[in-house]
Amino acid sequence: MPDRNLDLFERAKTLIPGGVNSPVRAFRAVGGTPRFVQRAQGAYFWDANGQRHIDYIGSWGPMILGHGHPAVLEAVQKAVLDGFSFGAPTEREVELAQAIVELVPSLEMVRLVSSGTEASMSAIRLARGATGRRKIIKFEGCYHGHADALLVKAGSGLATFGNPTSAGVPPEVVQHTLVLEYNNLEQLEAAFAEHGADIACLMIEPIAGNMNFVRASVPFMTRCRELCTRHGALLVFDEVMTGFRVALGGAQSVYAKQIPGFEPDMTVMGKVIGGGMPLAAFGGKRAVMEQLAPLGSVYQAGTLSGNPVATACGLATLAEIRKPGFFDALSARTRQLVDGLKATADSAGVPFSVDAEGGMFGFFLMPELPQNYQTVMKTDGTKFNALFHGLLDRGVYIAPALYEAGFVSAAHSAADVEETIAAAAESLRALA
């Protein structure tokens, strides 16, 4: 039988670098042929060979309602008829900004952009402009998009700044980016002790989804907040992945339950707020946000920012996830999945640990949950790849790399999860 996925991949490789428009899609880590998606509905997509897959990526997070939710489709179809893009303000932008500000108490104002990369990059410029400082802190294993200053890994020691992780980024561009180990209190203290007066912001994925699934511990987050406040640095939460995904109020609402009065100073959002359309945002307190152009001296702009079709999609998505009980049901489904996987791995005798919050989860082929990137990367890659392909062959699509999180949607049924666990049981037995 002809393999349409393979044919398309071969053709794509002659036209698009690596055959893909974003690297992880190429299956470089796991090997094999990427699935070219033909269409999707609910919890499934169908590839170019017509094979159905249960989708635990959901466009890397946005599709929290599953694919093709009727209310979202209707909103988008209506919006399209009114026009694709105007480059002038619209009522829907105001409505979406209002919905976001209502759902996330730390936000007083937001600006809409088109990608998470743009949102993080702009948030950092604003933090630097607002504080008049140069340096930023980021953590190894956290991804904030591909702005130059954020493509950086830890240097040889704390006294040195990071090294670029991409060619094309001159060392001078990352010289003000300090890269620390996630959940490492000692490094955090030392960084503020040495550079406190020059730190504009600390940017963090509160629950990191770009090193699989790793939570910042409550003591660590508490100290991040204290040190930022004491030194006048802004605490910036990157909730592109976790926002409106781990809980209606994002990861910050999860920490606020454990740390009285907890709030970040700024938040970066994306994915779910666009419901699958190119839409992201950054926001914070009025005094900081009003330093953006046209009011203030920090420049930021976008031809397609606040796009009318994307805002319609985002608004319809948020309207669904705000309904009472939505997150309880989503969390319960995610729990069913991770508990089932864990039980299956235990009975197959495969070392396994899991964690989840709301509709986001991670699992590791190791007995204990890791606390930082270095430990995540000690996962047995060969075993992960075998598990990935075992699942893929059985119609279950998880991230094609062990350092990515997974996503459950409201469209995943109990039967979908049972089918997934059965596929995992067969795949894990083959591993043991």
DSSP 247: B
CB of 205 to ligand PMP, least distance (A): 5
Interaction between residue 361 and ligand PMP (CB under 6 A): no
CB of 398 to ligand PMP, least distance (A): 16
Residues 6+ apart with CB under 8 A from 154: 140, 162, 163, 179, 180, 181
Interaction between residue 245 and ligand PMP (CB under 6 A): no
Interaction between residue 238 and ligand PMP (CB under 6 A): yes
Interaction between residue 252 and ligand PMP (CB under 6 A): no
Q: Rule CB under 6 A: which of 148-207 touch ligand PMP?
A: 205
Interaction between residue 240 and ligand PMP (CB under 6 A): yes
Interaction between residue 122 and ligand PMP (CB under 6 A): no
x/- binding map, residues 123-152, to ligand PMP, per CB under 6 A? --------------------xxx-------
- Closest CB to ligand PMP among residues 23, 232: 23
- Closest CB to ligand PMP among residues 36, 213: 213
Which residues are designated catalytic? 143, 238, 271
- Closest CB to ligand PMP among residues 142, 341: 142
Q: In the Cβ-directed half-sphere of 255, how many Cα atoms lie within 13 Å?
A: 28
Instruction: Give the C-alpha separation, 149 to 331, whole Å.
Output: 35
Q: Rule CB under 6 A: which of 48-67 touch ligand PMP?
A: 60
CB of 273 to ligand PMP, least distance (A): 11
Question: 314-333: b or e for each residue (b if 16 or more CB lie within 10 Å)?
Answer: bbbbbeebeeeebbeebbeb
x/- binding map, residues 268-287, to ligand PMP, per CB under 6 A? --x---------x-------
Which residue number is nearest to ligand PMP in terms of Cβ? Answer: 116
Strand residues in 69-108 grouped as ranges (E):
none
DSSP 262: -
Interaction between residue 212 and ligand PMP (CB under 6 A): no
Instruction: Give the C-alpha separation, 61 to 103, whole Å.
Output: 18
The CA distances from residue 358 to 11, 74, 255, 393, in Å, are 39, 26, 14, 27
CB of 280 to ligand PMP, least distance (A): 6
Query: Can you spell out the DSSP letters for 145-170?
Result: -S-GGG-EE--SSTTS--EESSTT--
Helices in 296-325 by DSSP H: which ranges? 308-321
